[in-house]
Amino acid sequence: MQRRDFLATTVTAAASIPLANAALAGVSNASQDTHPSQLQPIARKGNIHHAVSKWCFGGMPLDQFCARCKLMGIEGIDLLDEKDWATPLAHGMVCSLGNGPTSIGDGMNRLENHDRVVAECERMLPIAAANKVPNLMLFSGNRRGMPDDVGLANCAIGLKRVMPIAEKHGVTILMELLNSRVDHGDYMCDRTPWGVELVKQVGSDRFKLLYDIYHMQIMEGDVIRTIRNNHQYFGHYHTAGNPGRNEIDATQELNYPPICEAIVATGFKGFLAQEFIPRRDPMTSLRESIDICDV
């Protein structure tokens, strides 16, 4: 399912789950109605800049969500629309990844999209910079019969037009690696080598890949070796458990502590964002996922 399609079907269910304030704040005697301002934030190790994708927790107002996340030691909120970029700033956080002017299915591999995308980037990137948004998302789009080499060349043509704007405003453009086997059938940027070649062809420090660990576990596996060999092309990371895209705990096949240790060992200074669908109290699941990744 597309992210926003999923959000539309889960917002009611997520809103009905009670908040576990005591669990998320690490204070066992906090009452359920304790205001976040009265709770002490969790001190993190500082090796990883933690973030989270808001769409997975759609039932909670963004302002309230930011307050809860701040207590957990989370520094960024991923995949917010332009209208919401300023909200994390009020909580001493940032929108760590802003939604750009493409969709998963319709993106940079279509030449006919380039004029519109470039014009929108000219408008959006100054706003992103003003709101301290470090990254903006542009997707490859689906193949729809297009050969991968043609799509790569088309993406490079369009991204090279965007790079001067991104470089001027100090915002990095990210393209996400997604699986085309389970969640996003026909998506083009579905393998690390394809994405790495695109980064090389674009040739700008302001264009990198979003390495989604869940998606690339489905497509390729060998996650730690891939990170070690290609980390210079990765500007952002996403997590989720596999199979199921749920919590990143011991019930699934990805072992996140050594994965996060491998990321830290590369000298990575960007964000690692949780992007899983919680199966239980969402704030408890989120708190535990940050604990797991805080190596």
**What does the block give as tokens for 213?**
């660990």
Q: What residues contact 28, with CB distance under 8 A and at least 6 apart?
A: 22
Helix or strand holding residue 85 (H, E) = none
Q: What residues contact 26, with CB distance under 8 A and at least 6 apart?
A: 40, 42, 287
Type of residue found at 138: L
Is 112 part of the annotated catalytic residue set?
no
Of 82, 176, 247, 288, the active-site residue reads 176
Residues 53 and 239: their CA atoms lie apart, in Å, by 10
Residues 74 and 96: their CA atoms lie apart, in Å, by 11
Residues 32 and 59: their CA atoms lie apart, in Å, by 17
Is 275 part of the annotated catalytic residue set?
yes
Of 75, 82, 247, 275, the active-site residue reads 275
Phi, psi dihedral angles at 187 (to 5 degrees): -65, 140
Kindly provide the b/e burial profile for residues 218-254, where b requires at least 16 CB atoms within 10 angstroms of the residue's own CB.
bbbeebeebbeebbebbbbbbbbbbeebbbbeeebeb
Q: Find the angle CA(110)-CA(180)-CA(83) to the nearest 5 degrees.
A: 60
Q: Which residues are catalytic?
A: 176, 275
